[in-house]
Every structure is written in C-alpha cells, then in structure tokens.
Structure 1
Amino acid sequence: MEEMVEIYKKYMPQVYKFLFSLCHDVHLSEELTQETFFQAMKSIDNFHGDCRLYVWLCSIAKHLWYKELKKKKRETAAENAEQADYRNLTENSAIQKVEVIELYKKLHLLEEPVREVMYLRLNADFTFKEIGEIMGKDENWARVTFYRGKQKIRKENRHEM
C-alpha cells in the first residue's frame, strides 16, 4: 500500500496533466486521475514492466477518457446544443471560434498517432520528450510526427483556397 502512495505522489501530476490535455476540464481531470490510480491499484498485479509505469498509467487514463467520451455521447441533444450556442458571441470571437473548430476538424481527420501527438502538443503543451514517453517512442519521433501532421494540415489549407 505504501508503494502505491509513492507511485501516486510521483505520477499524479503528470497523469492529471495528460488527462487535462484530453478533456480540458479541471474537475473531470481530477476525477479521472483518481479513477486511474484506483484502477491501477486494482490491477497492479497485471503490470509486468513491459513499459514504463508512467506509460501504463497514461494508457489506463486514456481508456477511462474514452469511456467518458462514450458516456458523453449519450447526453441529451439539448446539452449538446447548449455547447454549440454561438448567438452571444461577438462577430470576431465567432469567427475565431469557427477557425478553431475547422482546425480541430482537420486534426480529427489525421491518423493515429499523429492526431494524438498534435493534441498533446497543442492542448497540453507537453514537451516532445514527454509526448515520446507517453506514446512509448523517443523525443525525435514525437517531433517528426508533429511536424508531419502540421505539414499535412497546411497542405490541406492550401488546397482549400
């Protein structure tokens, strides 16, 4: 039990940061972080050391995030409409919002793992080294993957004009 306390102290901030990069919600990130460590404690016997402990924790966290996304899809149409309500935005902020949405639509169309690297870099300001650790790769792989994703989006933007 004391070992899990040490693991929690060491990795909780990183797991929280990872989850926050995915959901952008402080409370949900906290809840999913707690659930991640609860699930890790329940299944610590299944960890065989094939990867770093941090990577294993992030894979649990990502799985929990995906479960949360499925749950959110079942929300009512009224809640979804509320999120998409742009009527109260000023013209400039509405245009900026549309541009951001278009960017995220393009990001969403990227293949894995490029999409995940782009999200981690753009949303959570993870370093390339941290992204490499999360993805089980090295820093250079993360840099190249991010660059290729950025180039693909730029190329698509040129074709639309």
Structure 2
Amino acid sequence: MTEPRVQGDPAFVLLRLYEKALPEVYGYLLARCGDRALAEELTSEAFLGAVAACRKENAPVVSTAWLIGVARHKLADHWRRTEREQRGLRLVPDVSVEDPWDERLDALRARQVLASLSVPHRAALTLRYVDGLRVGEVATHLGRTVPATEALLTRAKAAFRRSYQEKEGRDD
C-alpha cells in the first residue's frame, strides 16, 4: 500500500513565480493605464486575487500568462468602477431656469469646481451632498469603510473649498 501524497499549498507555486512574473504583470498594466501608482495598486490586487484563486478547490494552473489574465480583469474592474462613478456624476440635474442670477452663478461655479476635482473626491461629494446619501451609504457605493469615507469627504471638502475660493477670487 502506498502512502497518500500530501500536496502543498498552491499559493507557494505562485510565490515561486512572483519574482519572474512581477515585472511582466506590472509592465502590462503600466502600458495600459499609464499611471505608476494605479499600475502598482492593480498589480498587488492581481497577485492577491491570484493567491485567493489558487487556494480554491480545482485551482488553475499558475503561469505568467494566467497572471496577466488576472491583471487584465483587475484593470477592467477598475475601468468599470471609474465609469460608474463618472456616470453617476453626469446624472446631476441642470440648474433650474427660474433660479435667481446669483444662485445660478454660484451653482455654475460649484459645478466647475466639482468637475475639476479628482474622481474619488467628485464621487464622494456628489453622493453625499447632491444625492443626499448618508456617509454609510456613500461608503457602500464607493466600496470603502465608513472611517475611510469620512476621511475622503474631509479631504474632498477641503479641496473643493480651496478651489472654489481660488475661482471666486479670479472672477471678482
């Protein structure tokens, strides 16, 4: 009778491949997104996702090509999230024609300032103050924790205030 073979953790196979595949996965992502920080973030997400997939029953065969496929999916997920955020921002209704002139100017300036902010800041401010969601609901929509969302909103409000005041100074 033969002894049953003990199989090692498939994640260790991935670990051995990591050093060889890392530059290729990162290079693949960087060439497509053009942003080093985003490419680094997506590369780490790809490897973490790969580790999780390798630990499942019927784990896939780990190779550099497979890792690049995982990275491709992570990049597509990022683009979908960004598009959803931008689509939500485009749903902001136009200012009513019946608004007094000063309110119209303030609303136009606020929209210009909002459009100039980064996507995360725009999304957080729009969900919280235009759509009127509570912080917990904003966190859910953005896929963040409540404390992280509170910090994001604090930074976004400060950026908005700075930009609004700068724009206001130029218009006077």
Q: Which band: TM-score by shorter chain? A: 0.3 to 0.5
Higher relative contact order (CA closer than 8 Å, sequence separation 6+): 1
* TM-score, with structure 2 as normaliser: 0.41
Structure showing greater Rg = 2
Q: Which has the higher helix share?
A: 1
